Chains A and B, each alone.
Chain A
Amino acid sequence: MIRLEKRPTPSQTWAYLTPLVAVVATMIAGGILFAFLDKDPVVAIRTIFWDPIFGEFAFYYRGQLLVKAGPLILIAIGLSLGFKAGIWNIGAEGQYIMGAIFGAAVGLAFYPMEARWLIFPLMILAGAFGGFLWAMIPGILKTRFNTNEILVSLLLVYVAESILASMSLGLLRNPEGAGFPGSRNLRQYESAANNELIAGWGMHWGVVAAFIAVIFAYILLSRHIMGFNIRLTGESPRAARFAGVNPNRLILFCLGLSGALAGLAGMFEVAGPAGQISIDFNVGYGFTAIIVAFLGRLHPIGILLAGMLMALTYIGGEAAQASLGLPAAAIQAFQGMLLFFLLAFDVLTNFRVRFGREAAV
């Protein structure tokens, strides 16, 4: 018989080891899944994890890595702060969309004036503000009426998607676009474009912002009183109140900051890789970032690495779709499995597995 025995203190080793074990388990289970789809599992796994970095077309894929990892890391850093305090912003996808709409709208409002020193910084502010605003809705509802921020933030994603559709069909539609939905292409508008800083690297301002966010979060959590209060609230809400933490202020801070970072990610995306507001602008970064945050143990450095790994599954997944004909849903299932295994193996951090007859408890 297998039993779980609670450890006196959480195992430090397992806390670091579980993400790796989860990745390996996902590869195995994913391999089985691909085998059932009549694909060679070894080839599929190699296509997803190996080829994008070391394969024949790596020169192209490597640049994509940062393009995908940037928004994931930026959003996940914001989410991790709230998650640490037990504040569950599940609607980063919506805040990401609103950031993109606000950022793009500001840029388009100035078209065709050329003044990058003014327009691009304004777009950054507008993007952050859009995400912030969208996250304040669940925040204020929670602090005023004690609503559940998980539900409110999640449902607001669908509201944001509707706004996105209406914007790309109406207000922000390209007047010279022959009636097709979607805005002007911001990449072709010098003052608003968020193009690669170094050709071929995939490094744009959003990636820079992500790296800054990692450093910022690291310092906040380890040195600043606000980070201490966040950790304390997650550990023990009552002790936090005793320590003078105002729970409502903390909720607004965490939701607002994660919303602003998600909004920034959306703005950098719409002005860069995506280029325009369109109906299918959002591709699920806001949801995948939840996996990234947990895979990275809610730790800034961990999130940096986890973001890279998730970006790899995106790129590898696309490559596998193209070269092996794997369905897109298989890749999503694959990413979901990663979170599932991570949470499952997390048990080992707090419990020890014992085999054999039940001893006296």
Chain B
Amino acid sequence: MTALLSVQGLRKAYPGVVANDDVSFTVGKGEVHALLGENGAGKSTLVKMVYGLVKPDEGQMIFNDGAYTPGSPHEARSTGIAMVFQHFSLFEALDVAENVALGMENPPPMRELAASIREVSETYGLPLDPSRLVGDLSAGERQRVEIIRCLLQDPKLLIMDEPTSVLTPQEVDILFETLRKLQAEGTSILYISHKLEEIRALCDGATILRLGKVVGSCDPREKSARELAEMMVGTELKSPAATRHELGDVALTLKNLSVNSSNPFGTSLKNVSFDVREGEVLGIGGVAGNGQDELLGALSGELKSVSDAVQLGGKPIGHLGPNQRRQLGVLAAPEERLGHAAAPDMSLVENAALSAWVRMGMVRNGFIDWAMARNFAEKVIDDYDVRTPGSANAARALSGGNLQKFVIGREILQKPNILIVNQPTWGVDASAAAAIRQAILDLAAGGAAVVCISQDLDELMEISNRFAALNEGRLSEPRPAQGLTIDEIGLMMGGAHGMEVAHIHEEEGAS
């Protein structure tokens, strides 16, 4: 295989951190090449340099046998490199064709553009109607818009940054079909992910990054997922060990919970019902934006509901606010660490007091006992191995994984009866993620009920007793996690969004 892109000795340093150091790798023509690494390993910086968003301090790149020094993404695109970002840049109020036109240098007339969008979407098996409003599309469909936008440029190299994080398993299959078709036509793909099974299924070669350096390269099809993970992390991985224990009484019940989202672009919850027993972990999956934030809010008390809709051991608590629920032992750890679970510019001591003052008795007669808050913060830091110079540091100075450990530790150390977590290991490196999952399992083993909302299906299968999925604000019937197949999970999550629209409409018509 001849080389299409060859990267040699790239280095990029930011104040205080070397993001990439002496990174070299080669992507062959028609190769699907994986960039594998934990969060913070330097994958994003690396592809930003390839895409012309970031200029390297040292090193060179060779594209198609010529020197390649992109000064801007525009230059990268005209050279034949396209990129699909993890976060989409689409206008919700415009339709698909208009969004595609906005990304083009010289857009053709709308009618022609719509025709070519249709053609590309049929050729590559990416069903998409050019006249639909982007605001009405699912995350998977939005990603198709981005992909088609790239494909219309006829790229030689397509960069994809964590493309499957927003997809259902069925949608992942569709995406992989497309990528294989592209590969067969000779397009190279640079595929960034930390999901090992995907990489083993799709990629021909892999470069593994750790702390900004290349630590190895391999053919992922010849390695086990475990071997890959250990190369990525650099140490042996310990899988969380679930202890077998008896489940207790029903601790938390949701009965036909319906709440409106406080966010105009949010998803309202519709008739959500489930119950969780003491010692049980209920895993709630679903593609992002299907009501996860709202469910957490309704459980934490940030969103109030009819009092009967949320019951704690039979006692209605739907009308109570966050602090009243904390008093009853219902604690929560939201997804967004900075700005929701913690205040970015406040110290860890203040952030410890933020959610713990009620339950830990840090406030007497309205006055905060800061010594007590400091002790608690330091206990969280010690017990949960939060790496920080001290408790006086601002929350935003911590890395994502460390702050997440702090947030989870802060809630668990308050000895909750019920813990609700949303995306507990999002953006967290593998060893920290394992530690967090273990902490959640230990909490459940101690008799607490845990509701774990996550988009990481592997995680949910690993720690949940039962599994349910959120789809457009509705929750599927919870089922025992053991023995669930990936197909069943996918269907619970709503199947392939957009592909089954017609089918669903038929069903509704029939009933």
Contacts and interface: CB of A to CB of B under 8 A. Distances in A.
Contact of B344 (A235, A242, A246): A235
A241 B342 contact: no
Given A235-B345, A360-B57, 17 more contacts: A9-B396, A9-B397, A223-B367, A223-B368, A223-B370, A225-B363, A228-B353, A231-B346, A232-B343, A236-B343, A236-B344, A241-B322, A242-B300, A242-B341, A244-B321, A246-B321, A359-B55
B48 to A, nearest CB: 10
Contacts of B12: 360
Interface stretch (B251-259, B354-362, B463-471): B354-362
Interface of A: 8-10, 223-226, 228, 231-232, 235-236, 238-244, 246, 359-361
Interface in B288-318: 300-302
A239 B302 CA distance: 10
Contacts of A246: 321
Contacts of B394: 9
A238 B340 contact: yes
Nearest to A7: B15
Given A8-B16, A224-B366, A244 B358 contact: yes
Contacts of B367: 223-225
Contacts of B363: 225
22 contacts: A9-B397, A223-B367, A223-B368, A224-B366, A224-B367, A224-B368, A232-B343, A232-B354, A235-B344, A235-B345, A235-B346, A236-B339, A242-B300, A242-B334, A242-B340, A242-B355, A243-B355, A244-B321, A244-B322, A360-B54, A360-B55, A361-B55
B321 A238 contact: no
Interface residues of B, number: 40
Interface string B377-418: 000000000000000001011000000000000000000000
Contact of A239 (B55, B57, B341): B341
A244 B301 contact: yes
A247 to B, nearest CB: 11
A239 B366 contact: no
Contacts of B355: 242-243
Given A226-B366, A239-B339, A232 B346 contact: yes
B56 interface: yes
Nearest to A219: B367
B353 A235 contact: no
Contacts of A361: 54-55
Nearest to A232: B343
A246 B324 CA distance: 12
Nearest to B358: A244
Given A228-B350, A244-B301, A246-B321, A238 B339 contact: yes
A8 B15 contact: yes
Contact of B340 (A223, A239, A359): A239
A243 B54 contact: no
Query: Which 4 interchain pairs have the tightest Cβ spacing?
Result: A360-B55, A244-B323, A244-B322, A235-B343
Nearest to B71: A360
Contacts of A226: 366
A242 B350 CA distance: 14
B4 to A, nearest CB: 24
Contacts of A9: 394, 396-397
Contacts of B345: 10, 235
Contacts of B321: 244, 246
B323 A239 contact: no
Interface in B318-347: 321-324, 326, 332, 334, 336, 339-346
A241 B368 contact: no
A238 B12 CA distance: 35
Nearest to B397: A9
Contacts of B322: 241-244
Contacts of B324: 244
Given A8-B397, A9-B394, A239 B15 contact: no
Contacts of A224: 366-368
**Interface core residue of A244, A246, A361 (most chain B CB under 10 Å):** A244
Nearest to B323: A244
A358 to B, nearest CB: 10
Contacts of A235: 343-346
Give the one of B55, B56, B321, B367 with max A CB within 10 A. B367
Contacts of B396: 9
Interface centre among B56, B363, B366 (most CB of A within 10 A): B366
A240 B343 CA distance: 8
A159 to B, nearest CB: 33
A239 B354 contact: yes
A360 B45 CA distance: 12
Most buried by A among B340, B343, B345, B353: B343
Nearest to B334: A242
A360 B56 contact: yes
Contacts of B358: 244
